[in-house]
Structure 1
C-alpha cells in the first residue's frame, strides 16, 4: 500500500488544497486498470512535467553560464535531465513508496524501476506547476537537483567527453590490450528493460554499470572504471 500523500507533500514543502493533481501524478496505469472507480493515471502529467523540467533547467544553465554557447549548453542540459537524474532524485526522496500500483506491477517491484520513478517524478513536477505556478516549482525542483547542480556536481556534467571515449584513450597506447563491454543481466519488462554491464580490459573487470539502455549502462561502467583507476 502506498504511503500517505500528505507525507510526501510535507517532505517537498508543498502546501495545497488541490490534492487531486498530486494523487493523479502518483497513479500508475496498472492501478487504474484494477480500480473499481474512475481514476486518472500520471501519463498526461508526465508529458507536461518533462517540458517543465526542461524549461527550468534550461533557464538555470542559461543564466549560470552566460559565456557558454548553444553547442555546449545542449549536451549539458541533456545530461542534467536524462532519465537517470530524476530517477536518482526519486530514490532519494523514496518516491516509489508513494506510487499507487496495480497488484501485478507491485509484485514485480515496479516502484523500484528507474524508468517508472523518472516518469512519476516528471508527473509530480507537472502537478506542482499546475498547482503552484512556475516560480514555486522552480524553487522545489532546483532544491531537489541541488546535488547535481552544485559546484561538484556541475563539474561532472561540464566534462562533456563521454567516459567510454576517455577510457579508450587511456588504454589505446598499448595496442595489444583491448576494452570490451559485457551485458551481465537484463531486468524489468520487455518494453522497459534495464541493463547491468561490466567493462573489461582483456579479461579483467574494471567496472560495473546500470542503465535503461545498453549504451547508458556501458557509459556508467566506463565511468566506474575511470573512478577506480583514479584511486589506484
Structure 2
C-alpha cells in the first residue's frame, strides 16, 4: 500500500526574532517541526536579502542549540538548480521574513522556489513567516507592496483564502482588509495581530497562540449583505 502522506503545516506569525526578544513564537514553531533537532532555513527574499535582517536571524537562532540553521539568498544566488532543490527539501522549517510580498513572489517564481516550496510542503516541511512571509502562503493577501494598503489576489495558494498581517498595529489595516473581503477583492481569510500566531494543518486552522495577552487571530468573511464580519478565535497564551 502507498505510504500515508505526512501532515502539511503552515504557520502565520505576528512576530518572531525580528520584533520580539522573548522568542516565544519562534520556539512555538520549532516545537512543531517534524524533527527534534530541526533544520531551519531563512529566506529574506522580501527584503532583498538585507544583510542586517540575515544577521538578526543568525544571532537570534545561534543560541538555540536544538536546531541547525542556514540562509538561502537569491539576489546573489550561489546554488545551481539541483543544489537549490536539495537545500529546500532537506529543511524541517522554512522561515520567511517580511518585506515586499509582490517582489517576493516574483523572485521566487523566476528561480523556481515557488515549486520547490510546494514540494517541501507536501513532504512535511513546516512553512512559516511574518508579514510578507505570512502573506505568501495564501491565495491572496492584504499588502502595502505597491505603496498604499491594497489587496493582492496572488500567492502560492497552499493556504486556502487570504491573509492580513499587522491587523491591529498599522493604521487602516482592519477596515481595508474587511472592505476587500466584503466586495470580493479577496476571499475570506485570516487576520493576524502582532504578537499572535496561527498554525494550519492541511489547510485547516489547528492552533492559535499569543505571546502577549489580547493579541489574537480572526476569521474574516463576507456577511452576505455587502459587508464583512470578523470572528475572534480562542488563542492559547504562550509562556516562557
- Higher RCO (C-alpha under 8 Å, 6+ residues apart): 2
Larger Cα-atom Rg = 1
Higher helix share: 1
Which structure is higher in strand share?
Answer: 2
Establish whether TM, by shorter chain, passes 0.5.
no
TM-score after normalising by structure 2: 0.24
TM normalised by structure 1 equals 0.24
